[in-house]
Amino acid sequence: MPNMLLSLISVIVTLWVSRAHGQVKPCEYPEIKHGELYWADRYRGYFPASVGKWFYYSCDGNYETPTRDNWGKITCTTDGWSPKVPCVRKCIFNYLENGYYPREQRVSQGESIRVTCHRGYSLPDQQTTLTCTENGWSPPPKCIRVERCDMPMFENATAIITGKAFRPNDTLDYQCLDGYENRDGHTSGTMVCGKDGWSGLPSCFKSAEKCGPPPAVGNGDITSFPLTAYPPGSRVEYQCQAYYELQGPKYVTCSDAKWSEPPKCLDPCVISEEILNENNIRLKGKEDKTHYAKTGDIIEFTCKPGHSTVTSGQSLEAVCREGTVQLPRCE
């Protein structure tokens, strides 16, 4: 009995000496994340609280105490409040999209559960577990389709590696058959597996059947970036420069190493203010500045003030024909 009394006195003296030297600090009012102190307003005057004091608290809806009790105890210690995380997240596992799920399971923050997805599906990054975090499940309980590329069917080419499935960003090398080449003029190439399938599927064709760059068209050009070689069946589109009229087929096609007949870009009719003055005429409804007209356009004129037509009124109309126009004249 005397020994127990001496021990108790030693503890009291130690605490008194520690407090005297500032080593034991009282606890300030606890800020409980995702929870609150029981009767907070009533007990606010009890702070700072001395070491050993404890209070009841509760957690918000999706959170719980570490002991999973409705009410928890938060205690002032020499290291501060305990528990340091009074309210932890609770997660309910009762559904897994595109996967298998057992009866409802309940886990606390920091705990994980192993899941199984349907065939062809997986958690992101091929994960197999869900972890309960402060903000809920990570990753979310949803299995996504596993993107992959199957071995493609080749035409006039063979794969260098065969017999496996490929995941996004995997590459596959191929080799064109003898006497064949791809669009770049090479006999081999590489494809990349993407989320939507293979990119750059090989198009190997006979070297003797390819076409060179599309034929040049005066005052016009193709709408796509030109290549050095085009496989049979390739088609390109032409367009003319401003005010030039496209005549003929808009597209040309490569066949038997030759391009089909390209279109022409017809010259516009250019009517300058100087020409208008020479003929004592004006553009009807337009300013007397340089005017451009395409082939087939009908241009209307009027006589300048103090001048009249030499013939009938119909002569004040003219038609643009491939860069030339017969202008009327007023006297």
- Kindly tell me if the per-residue pLDDT of 9 is higher than 70: no
Is 281 within 8 Å of 316 (Cβ atoms)? yes
Distances (CA, A) of 51 to 23, 32, 54, 68, 264: 12, 18, 9, 25, 96
Higher pLDDT, 168 or 32: 32
**Mean pLDDT on 133-159:** 88
The per-residue pLDDT for range 161-196, each reduced to its tens digit, is 766 678 888 889 999 999 998 877 889 999 888 877
Mean pLDDT of the chain, nearest integer: 86
Which tokens is 29 given?
């009012």
pLDDT of residue 29: 94
The per-residue pLDDT for range 38-84, each reduced to its tens digit, is 998 888 888 999 999 999 999 999 999 999 898 999 999 999 999 99
Q: Is 121 left (phi over 0), alpha (psi -120 to 50) or beta?
A: beta
CA distance 213 to 41: 85
pLDDT of residue 15: 42
